[in-house]
Amino acid sequence: MSESLIGMPVDRIDGVLKVTGSARYAGDFSLPGMLHAVMVTSTIPAGRIAGIDTAEAERMPGVRLVMTALNAPRLPKGGKAALQPPAGRALSLLQDTAVHYNNEPVAVVVADTLAQARDAARHVRPRYQPEKATLDFDAGKAAAGKPKQAKDEPADTARGDFEAGLRQAAAKVDAVYGTPVQTHNPMEPHATVATWEGDTLTLYDATQYVTGVRRTVARTLGIDAGKVRVICPYVGGGFGCKGSTWSHVVLAAMASQRTGRPVRLVLERPQMFGPVGARPRTAQHMTLGAAADGTLTALRHDVIAHTSLREEWLETCALVTRMLYACPNQRTSHRVVRLNSGVPTFMRAPGEASGSVALECALDELAYALHVDPVALRLRNYAERDPEKRLPFSSKSLRECYRVGAERFGWSRRTPAPRSMQADGPLVGMGMATATYPTNRSPASAIVQLLPDGTALVRSGSQDLGTGTYTVMTQVAADALGLPPDRVRFELGDTDFPEAPVSGGSQSVASVAPAVQAACAAAKAKLVGLAIADGASPLSGATAEQVDVVDGWLVHRGDPKRREPAATPIARRGGEPVEATATAKPGDEKKAFSMHAFGAVFAEVRVDPDFGTVRVQRLTGCYGVGRLLNRKTAHSQLMGGIVWGLGFALLEESVPDPATGRIVNGNLAEYHVPVNADVGGIEVIVLDENDPHVNPLGAKGIGEIGIVGVAAAIANAVYHATGRRVRELPLTPDKVIA
């Protein structure tokens, strides 16, 4: 038997294509006769378009169409037929003159060249009838409403007697923590190329969910889903914003239909702020009580987050609090403030990333109040079972994550008192936090063809966000087929392929890999069946159990001399490929187990005592995430999440103008994300963990857990360095020295 490819640090299959610029992203597709579209967006937060002057724009060179609410195609149900998150959202499709937020699409200009379209777009002049806008999050908190639910759970929960538990407490923490609006800003902006052939629509779209785009666009336009094909071979980052189908996708299809030509629509960077989602602002009230030994007696997490007036979307911050620590008396609640803003959406680790800021900082405050080490406090309240669902965890290595992470980081060198460590001027601080993220899985399908040249073609309608899906699925397929990986080609990103779920919720590997494995196992069994039934094969007459495929050879297990190339039986039957399809889906595992990945994050910071500038010297993350399918891509995933957590803590904030609601730093010059100079040393440790319950491969998703807990660990380190507790992120110098 050859060594299993599962877990091996195989280089990225698509690496050369990406570094040479050969990988084709949505905006790279160029079709014969293609036109270019540019969106015009609103400059008021609320009101109506009283009139729109398009005459000058329409006269400009190369302009083919200026589409507004006056001439846009009428859609079924006013374009509101597809409100079904995650794919279907509240869209702005020029069906009426209402304005719901600043930067909302109000027109589309289509021209022969991009420069012509941009120039003409500047000459489209809407005339507005403004209305009073609701923009103040703080003012709206008192009237915040209760959402329908928190993902699949109730918006509010209660267990035990919170008031009694709080009365018993020897130490208490009562504080409010805030996180700002954040915008995804992947390197690749949203882009769509739309083209019609008769009544059939093809979309080249930058998306995390090709099937979701197909369904949403079909419902919105009122056509059969079979008439829509969506293609997306590569995604230049998504982080959640590309998991939904936004207005520009349908607008591109409408513009293409009106002009009778292919149309490319790429969002400009400022248009990424509003029309395609963001992480909402939150205010999170934490109330904790603990006995003198650190045992939690009461825990309460009340969340207020902003949402839009058009669609209710909730940042489920308190879900992490419900399951992470053993506390007999707990309450959680979620409320939303409706604002004239773009619809919020999923952003890497939605709920957990922002919720862990409040929970883990509050625990740190409690540790100081009790004079207990922060790691020891978490161990004292370690949950052996999910305290909310009252189920055992399918696997949990968190205790070992604390131990190994603390040892590798050098936590024992930390002196407990705030402002007690210094290094040649800067104050030194060490902080830590827990990371967790639910293990998700959805139905997925795959198809495999064993070809007469000895190679295999494997397909699934999944997506690769740059995370390594091409590579990992090639490994799984090659391992299941018994072929070298260079003889397996994996294709994705096309609705003509078998259906797969959204690449979100850290579920692509957990969902698609079992389908690929099952399809390949079925194809391999068919191939073995061909050989043993073929009198011309040296394996003729053997049983299926006696034959394996190893490195591309059919081999008799008991007599290795009886062998032949895997392609030979296919050739003997005329070259007809061996084909198999499989669907893999979750069963009732979640009725028996609570499924999560876990980790521990440690941070060391240096803070300038005069200027309040914070530098993250080093970060250590130790994780238990089931079985890794590729150690190299997993390391990259987790490191990327940690870097984003650093940005969450120190830099990222979309700042709305309080008068107009427009994001004033809506570009990458002023919306700051970490660059190389901001990132110190990062150590990623992944423990060997066996979870036989999550899926046949034992793999948990890792796309999002890397960001969870990092911002809290850094905030806690800043407190340790300075003795100043900053509860409102980001940790900018003005807050640190105020």
Q: Residue type at 10?
A: V
- Tell me the C-alpha distance between 272 and 239, whole Å: 13
What residue segments make up the domains of the chain, in order of their start? 15-21+442-585, 31-132+184-272, 278-440+590-737
**Residue 616 CA: distances (Å) to CA of 195, 266, 508, 619:** 48, 36, 32, 8
pTM: 0.97
**Residue 595 CA: distances (Å) to CA of 187, 437, 448, 589, 602:** 32, 9, 30, 9, 24
- Number of Cβ within 10 Å of residue 17's Cβ equals 15
User: In this structure, which CATH number among 3.30.365.10, 3.40.640.10, 3.40.80.10, 3.40.50.410 belongs to the domain 15-21+442-585?
Assistant: 3.30.365.10
Helix (H, G, I), strand (E, B) or coil at 188: coil
- Number of Cβ within 10 Å of residue 455's Cβ equals 17
Distance spanning both ends of the chain, measured CA to CA: 65
Q: Residue type at 32?
A: P
- Tell me the C-alpha distance between 60 and 58, whole Å: 6
Mean pLDDT of 309-322: 97
How many C-alpha atoms does 454 have within 13 Å on its Cβ side? 15
Mean pLDDT of 277-306: 98
Q: What is the pLDDT of residue 704?
A: 98
Mean pLDDT of 316-334: 98
Mean pLDDT of 573-579: 96
> Which pLDDT band holds residue 172 (cuts at 50, 70, 90)?
very high
> Is residue 549 over pLDDT 90?
yes
**Residue 49 CA: distances (Å) to CA of 5, 254, 273, 346:** 59, 20, 21, 30
Strand (E) or helix (H) holding 449: strand 444-450
- Tell me the C-alpha distance between 280 and 342, whole Å: 10
User: Bridge partners of 456?
Assistant: 450, 488
> Is residue 738 over pLDDT 80?
no
Q: In what order do the strands lie in the sheet containing 63-67?
A: 63-67, 105-111, 35-41, 263-266, 191-197, 200-205, 228-231
Q: What is the pLDDT of residue 82?
A: 80
Q: What is the pLDDT of residue 2?
A: 64
Helix (H, G, I), strand (E, B) or coil at 623: strand
- Tell me the C-alpha distance between 574 and 708, whole Å: 54
Tens of pLDDT, residue by residue over 118-155, are 999 999 999 999 999 999 999 999 999 999 999 999 99
Q: What is the pLDDT of residue 86?
A: 86
Mean pLDDT of 541-562: 97
Mean pLDDT of 328-334: 98
> Is residue 529 over pLDDT 80?
yes
Q: Does domain 278-440+590-737 have CATH number 3.30.365.10?
A: yes
Token pair recorded at residue 539: 């394996």
Q: Is 233 left (phi over 0), alpha (psi -120 to 50) or beta?
A: alpha
Token pair recorded at residue 380: 């004292």
Tens of pLDDT, residue by residue over 341-371, are 999 999 999 999 999 999 999 999 999 999 9
Q: What is the pLDDT of residue 84?
A: 84
Q: What is the mean pLDDT of the chain?
A: 97
Q: Which residues does the annotation mark as catalytic?
A: 704
Question: Which of 63-76 are b and which e, b meaning 16 or more Cβ less than 10 Å from the residue's Cβ?
Answer: bbbbbbbeebeebe
Tens of pLDDT, residue by residue over 508-518, are 999 999 999 99
Instruction: Using alpha carbons, select from 439, 207, 99 the residue that is nearest to residue 228.
Output: 207
Mean pLDDT of 372-377: 98
Token pair recorded at residue 695: 């899926």
Mean pLDDT of 10-24: 96
> Which pLDDT band holds residue 525 (cuts at 50, 70, 90)?
very high
Burial of residue 545, with CB atoms counted within 10 A of its CB: 0-12 exposed, 13-18 middle, 19 or more buried: exposed
Compute CA 100 distance to the chain's CA centroid, rounded to the nearest angstrom: 26
CATH topology of domain 31-132+184-272: Aldehyde Oxidoreductase; domain 4 (3.30.365)
The DSSP result for 349-365, as a single string, is: STTHHHHHHHHHHHHHH
> Which pLDDT band holds residue 83 (cuts at 50, 70, 90)?
confident
- Tell me the C-alpha distance between 407 and 414, whole Å: 12
Tens of pLDDT, residue by residue over 93-105, are 999 999 999 999 9
380 φ/ψ angles, rounded to the nearest 5 degrees = -65, -25
Tens of pLDDT, residue by residue over 207-221, are 999 999 999 999 999
Burial of residue 574, with CB atoms counted within 10 A of its CB: 0-12 exposed, 13-18 middle, 19 or more buried: exposed
Mean pLDDT of 317-338: 98
> Is residue 456 over pLDDT 60?
yes
- Note the helical H segments in 229-335: 247-259, 319-324
Does 501 sit behind a cis peptide bond, omega within 30 degrees of 0 on the bond before it?
no
Tens of pLDDT, residue by residue over 484-498, are 999 999 999 999 999
Does 126 sit behind a cis peptide bond, omega within 30 degrees of 0 on the bond before it?
no
> Which pLDDT band holds residue 454 (cuts at 50, 70, 90)?
very high
The DSSP result for 60-124, as a single string, is: STTEEEEE-TTTSPP-GGGG-TT--TTTB-----SSSSEE-STT-EEEEEEESSHHHHHHHHTT-
